[in-house]
Amino acid sequence: MLIKRRRGWELPESQATPEAVFFDRRKLLLGMGAAGIAASAGWRPAWGATDAAAVAADLYPAKRNPAYELGRDMTEEKVATSYNNFYEFGTSKNIVKPAQALTLKPWQVKIDGMVAKDITIDAEDLIRKMPVDERLYRHRCVEAWSMAVPWTGFPLRALVDFAAPMSGAKYLKMETFSRPQEASGQKQFWYPWPYTEGLTIEEARNELAYIATGIYGKPMPKQNGAPLRLAVPWKYGFKSVKSIVRFTFTDKRPKTFWEALQDGEYGFWANVNPMVAHPRWSQATEEVIGTGKRIPTQIYNGYGEQVAELYKNLGSEKLFM
């Protein structure tokens, strides 16, 4: 399944990924041990990543899967872990502090709906049953910014297999926690909480669909969606629901958070396409956060080789909004 693929597109040499730099830094950190890390000037951990609440911390860093290349520079850790969208903690990009109120232990995950048997399992136990690796993925927010990060996690397909859905299940619905005491954004009653997203079963089984449990070789910081969040890099970022507590298999297309809020602007499919503008702005280019540069956006965010097949017979659907 995990064969090395040719990049779907190329960028100028000046933007090529300095993977070696990242590997060397990681090796250095591993070699130094905890005391050395703490003492080394200029390095600090992702917010919250090293606190005692981190889930399955011994799994990091995981072995990198070489099948996935960025084709651009990796975003700096401090940028990707401090510029966030997480409306449960506020509508600004600066939600690191309020997000630390999120309690990660215990974290029960429910798998229900069209499955032979409902499953309730602690996130830590679930992660330990899954084939964990590290993958470099691009991420394109519908707001026309992007990042490129190393996630740690497991293929969503492995969770689907674990759940053993009935043959009639057509969609997988995913929901974020509902805890207004910890997440004051959820006291804003006009939002359709809890944050809900969904994929078709075929999409959920695509090799790229991923449940991320960590980033930059460490457990996921709270602000990035600990302890487990979706990463579907060919779709706009809002599809990648954070801090999931429930996976439901169903034969009805779920109504997503953003669709419920504004269905004229945000649909179910939300595949990246530079040719299809958002009603209020162009999607032709994207700002690469941390660089101040804009680059052209690619159809399916450059992942067409892996996913275009999924949409061959869906011509009448609004696939790109």
Ligand X SMILES: Nc1nc2c(c(=O)[nH]1)N[C@H]1C(S)=C(S)[C@@H](COP(=O)(O)O)O[C@H]1N2
Closer CB to ligand X, residue 98 or residue 225?
A: 225
- Cα separation, 171 vs 252, whole angstroms: 7
Smallest gap from residue 30 Cβ to ligand X (A): 24
**Distance from C-alpha of 224 to C-alpha of 139, rounded to nearest angstrom:** 13
User: Closest approach of Cβ 254 to ligand X, in Å?
Assistant: 14
Least distance CB 260 / ligand X (angstroms):
13
Q: Kindly give, in sequence order, each residue whose CB lies less than 8 Å from that of residue 254, ignoring residues fewer than 6 positions away.
A: 171, 173, 196, 197, 198, 248, 268
Which 140-179 residues touch Mo ion, going by CB under 5 A? 141
Q: Does 238 bind Mo ion (CB under 5 A)?
A: yes
Chain position whose Cβ is nearest to ligand X: 237
Q: Other CB atoms closer than 10 Å to residue 13's CB: what's the count? A: 6
Helices and strands (DSSP H and E) totals, the chain? 8, 12
Q: Is 274 in the site for Mo ion (CB under 5 A)?
A: no
Q: Which residues bind ligand X (CB under 6 A)?
A: 84-88, 141, 176, 195, 224-225, 237-238, 240-243
Work out what residue 86 binds among ligand X, Mo ion, none; the CB cut-off runs from 5 to 8 Å by kind.
ligand X
Of positions 153, 217, 237, 267, contacts Mo ion by CB under 5 A: 237
* Distance, first Cα to last Cα, the chain: 29
Closest CA to 249 of 183, 306, 169, 317: 169
C-alpha distances in Å from residue 157, one per residue of 10, 141, 170, 189, 205: 29, 23, 14, 34, 4
- The pair of structure tokens assigned to 148 is 């490129």
> Could you tell which of Mo ion, ligand X, none binds residue 140, using a CB distance below 5 to 8 A set by kind?
none
Residue 224 binding result from Mo ion, ligand X, none, given CB thresholds of 5 to 8 Å by partner type: ligand X
Nearest distance in Å: CB 236, ligand X: 7
Smallest CA-to-CA distance from 181 within 54, 89, 107, 87 is with: 89
> In the complex, what is the shortest distance from the CB of residue 172 to Mo ion, in angstroms, rounded to a whole number?
20
Which one, 81 or 306, has the nearer CB to ligand X? 81
Q: How far apart are CA 317 and CA 321, in angstroms?
A: 10
CB of 89 to ligand X, least distance (A): 8
Stretch that binds Mo ion, among 80-88, 123-131, 189-197, 201-209 (CB under 5 A): 80-88
Interface residue list for Mo ion (CB under 5 A): 85, 141, 237-238
